[in-house]
């Protein structure tokens, strides 16, 4: 009997989640764990051994309870696994949070072209740390040449976990196209960086994300998919009008599928980039570390007042007052080189007012993050009005953020979803396509989970909103690193 259920692994940087979906794409079972990064010989690494152990444990348990027909992995991007001739790790799996010497970055651009030149071809801006996989491979090749020499296979993280289960090796476009410098969008082929680093020779053939590349205990294993692209899949199938998907978590990623590929040089240093979707199309996007900054300031507030800020209710009068009086600001960025204000120094402006009480601190924080979102979306869409902004993920549960965002963007419609697990749902759709041997486009599905709820804006004169946004922007540009 062919299994009808779909098993999805959603591997985040810290949180790892496993979900079993039934044939109607309802959640039948879910569990999660936390596995942190580790250091190996001074290098920050993803603990793939611990992840593999957890994967096998929860999967084998689920196979004994559910009639599973396909398995899909979706993971964070910017991460590759190097395998030797015996398919063992040739090197620890380096985290994109690893820092490298500035000289390495400089030599990379001297060899392969300026950031502006590469941006025009690959849609990839120069990101901090090792968030560009091409730069990571260049660093490994030059710092550890013997490792790169013995590397016979390069797999992106989703495909590595799929390989561990199935023995099948695959390359797929959503991971290759995740700000790596490895894919030339103009030529629709491997880039000059990829060719210079022998990536095509070390990579398996390309597969669709939904293609079955092998089996685990008789169950189909799909190639795999990058998590931001997985979160986009349900909306590509369900939305009929022009939209921007705000996929919110540690990173807030804003994806605008209707935009043309037109990389502007002024966007190179403002975290405007192009992902590649499951059909091979460039998706104009903007990002900043919204969830990371949220958690950082939440922890400060929690320690200062000894309360849980997440339990503070939304106060409409206070919310309006903070905008009108410009009470305080939380200015980006805690991660230099990222976001729309990459040179801005992350800080609290008017600390005394910010720490007046926990409610003020929490409202100011969410207003400031909504303001960052406003500037990200404005750059992404070039100020276009009449769009639907679809908020998914953690911030879809945050009324403070949502109400402020709707207030800052009165000419667009802000909606959120009670169902916040679009990444897992998107991966489940990939699993359904694998199960039925179909393309995603050919699936006959209804997605009642995606019932949207429109967010109401605050009752406040537009003049105050415009003045707040202008002062926020000035603060970001004034005290740069």
Same domain membership, residue 243 and residue 162: no
Predicted local confidence at residue 28, as pLDDT: 97
**Per-residue pLDDT reduced to its tens digit, 283-338:** 999 999 999 999 999 999 999 999 999 999 999 999 999 999 999 999 999 988 88
pLDDT at 171: 98
For β-strands 252-256 and 282-288, DSSP reports them as antiparallel
Domain count, the chain: 2
Sign of CA dihedral 407, 408, 413, 418: negative
Query: Does residue 340 sit in the same domain as residue 206?
Result: no
Whole-number Å distance between alpha carbons of 37 and 48: 9
Helix (H) or strand (E) holding 476: helix 462-478
Regarding beta strands 43-45 and 38-40, do their DSSP bridges make them parallel or antiparallel, or are they unpaired?
Answer: antiparallel
Q: Which helix (H) or strand (E) holds 348?
A: strand 347-349
Residues 109 and 203 occupy one common structural domain: yes
Question: Which residue, of 223, 247, 269, is where some domain finishes?
Answer: 223
337 and 374, same domain (yes or no): yes
Answer yes or no: do 202 and 252 share one domain: no
SS (H, E, C) 227-241: HHHHHHHHHHHHCCC
pLDDT band at 249 (very low <50, low <70, confident <90, very high): confident
Q: Is this model's pTM higher than 0.95 or not?
A: no
152 vs 479: which has the higher pLDDT: 152
* Residues 317 and 437 occupy one common structural domain: yes
Q: DSSP 3-state assignment of 176?
A: helix
Backbone angles phi, psi at 29, to 5 degrees: -165, 145
Do 159 and 246 belong to one domain? no
Structure tokens at 396: 């879809």
Find out whether 388 and 412 touch, Cβ atoms under 8 Å. Answer: yes
Residue 223 and residue 440 in contact, taking contact as beta carbons nearer than 8 Å: no
Domain range enclosing 413? 226-481
The domain boundary residue, chosen from 207, 223, 239: 223
Residue 240 has pLDDT above 60, yes or no: yes
Give the pLDDT band of residue 2 (cuts 50, 70, 90).
Answer: low
The pLDDT score that the predictor gives to residue 475 is 97
pLDDT tens for residues 29-88?
A: 999 999 999 999 999 999 999 999 999 999 999 999 999 999 999 999 999 999 999 999
313 shares its domain with 196: no
- Per-residue confidence at 266, pLDDT binned at 50, 70, 90? confident
- Cβ neighbours of residue 48 under 8 Å, at least 6 residues apart? 81, 89, 93, 160
Instruction: Name the pLDDT band for 251 (thresholds 50, 70, 90).
Output: confident
Report CA torsion sign: 210, 214, 218, 224.
Answer: negative
What is the arithmetic mean of pLDDT over 429-445? 96
Q: Is there a single domain that holds both residue 231 and residue 173?
A: no
Give residue 1's pLDDT band: very low, low, confident or very high (50, 70, 90): very low
C-alpha to C-alpha distance for 222 and 351, rounded to whole angstroms:
50
Per-residue pLDDT of 116-143, as tens digits, reads 999 999 999 998 899 999 999 999 999 9
Cβ–Cβ under 8 Å, residues 417 and 452: yes
List pLDDT tens digits, range 198-215.
999 999 999 999 999 999
pLDDT category, 250, cuts 50, 70, 90?
confident
Q: What is the pLDDT of residues 367-395, one digit of tens each?
A: 999 999 999 999 999 999 999 999 998 89
Contacts of 311 (CB under 8 A, 6+ apart): none
**Burial of 318: CB neighbours in 10 Å, binned 0-12, 13-18, 19+:** middle
Q: In Å, how far from its chain's centre is CA 328?
A: 29
Q: pLDDT digits over 99-114, tens only?
A: 999 999 999 999 999 9
Q: CA dist 203 to 83, 139, 274, 382, Å? A: 10, 18, 22, 37
Residues 206 and 342 in one domain: no
Dist. CA 82–CA 156, nearest whole Å: 9
Radius of gyration of the chain (CA): 22
Over residues 384-411, mean pLDDT: 96
The stretch 441-456 carries a mean pLDDT of 94
Same domain, yes or no, for 119 and 251? no
Report whether 264 contacts 302 (CB < 8 A): no
User: Which of 414, 459, 468 has the alpha carbon at shortest distance from 316?
Assistant: 459
Are residues 135 and 273 part of one domain? no
Residue 117's domain is classified under what CATH number? 3.30.420.40
Angle between helices 102-112 and 115-122 (to 10 degrees): 60
Q: How many helices (H) and strands (E) does the chain have?
A: 17, 22
Residue written as tokens 């001074």? 42
What integer pLDDT is reported at residue 481 of this predicted model? 55
* Residues of the chain above pLDDT 70, percent: 99
pLDDT value of position 219: 98
Cβ atoms within 10 Å, residue 53: 12
φ/ψ bin of 114: left (φ > 0), alpha (ψ from -120 to 50), beta (otherwise): beta
- In which order are the strands placed within the sheet that holds 243-248? 272-276, 282-288, 252-256, 243-248, 388-393, 413-417, 452-454
Listed residues 205, 223, 241: the one ending a domain: 223
Q: How far apart are CA 22 and CA 343, in angstroms?
A: 47
């Amino acid at each position: 009997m062919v299994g009808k259920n779909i098993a999805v692994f959603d591997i985040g940087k810290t949180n790892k989640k496993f979900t079993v979906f039934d044939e109607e794409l309802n959640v039948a079972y879910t569990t999660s764990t936390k596995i942190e990064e580790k250091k190996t010989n001074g290098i920050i690494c993803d603990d793939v051994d611990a992840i593999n152990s957890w994967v096998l444990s929860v999967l084998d348990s689920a196979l004994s309870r559910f009639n599973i027909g396909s398995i899909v992995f979706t993971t964070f991007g910017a991460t590759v696994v190097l395998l030797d001739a015996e398919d063992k790790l040739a090197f620890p799996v380096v985290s994109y949070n690893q820092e490298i010497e500035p000289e390495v970055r400089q030599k990379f651009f001297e060899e392969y072209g300026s950031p502006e030149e590469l941006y025009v071809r690959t849609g990839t801006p120069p990101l901090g740390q090792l968030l560009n996989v091409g730069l990571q491979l260049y660093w490994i090749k030059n710092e550890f040449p013997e490792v790169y020499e013995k590397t016979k296979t390069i797999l992106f993280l989703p495909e590595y976990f799929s390989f561990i289960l199935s023995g099948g090796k695959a390359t797929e476009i959503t991971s290759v196209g995740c700000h790596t410098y490895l894919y030339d969008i103009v030529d629709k082929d491997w880039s000059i960086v990829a060719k210079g680093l022998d990536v095509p020779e070390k990579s398996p053939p390309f597969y669709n994300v939904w293609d079955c590349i092998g089996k685990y205990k008789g169950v189909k294993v799909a190639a795999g998919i990058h998590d931001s692209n997985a979160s986009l899949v349900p909306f590509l199938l369900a939305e009929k009008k022009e939209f921007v998907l705000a996929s919110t978590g540690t990173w807030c990623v804003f994806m605008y599928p209707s935009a043309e590929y037109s990389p502007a040089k002024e966007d190179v240093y403002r975290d405007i980039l192009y992902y590649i979707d499951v059909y091979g199309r460039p998706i104009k996007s903007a990002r900043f570390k919204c969830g990371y900054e949220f958690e950082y300031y939440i922890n400060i507030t929690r320690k200062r007042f000894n309360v849980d800020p997440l339990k503070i209710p939304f106060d409409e009068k206070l919310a309006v007052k903070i905008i009108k009086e410009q009470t305080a600001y939380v200015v980006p960025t805690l991660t230099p080189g990222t976001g729309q204000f990459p040179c801005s120094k992350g800080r609290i402006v008017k600390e005394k007012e910010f720490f007046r009480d926990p409610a003020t601190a929490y409202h100011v924080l969410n207003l400031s993050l909504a303001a960052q979102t406003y500037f990200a979306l404005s750059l992404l869409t070039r100020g276009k009005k009449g769009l639907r902004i679809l908020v998914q993920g953690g911030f879809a549960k945050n009324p403070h953020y949502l109400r402020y965002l709707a207030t800052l963007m009165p000419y667009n419609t802000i909606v959120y979803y009670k169902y916040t697990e679009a990444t897992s749902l998107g991966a489940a759709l990939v699993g359904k396509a694998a199960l039925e041997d179909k393309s995603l486009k050919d699936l006959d599905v209804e997605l009642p989970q995606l019932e949207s709820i429109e967010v109401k804006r605050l009752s406040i004169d537009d003049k105050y909103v415009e003045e707040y946004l202008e002062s926020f922007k000035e603060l970001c540009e004034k005290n740069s690193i």
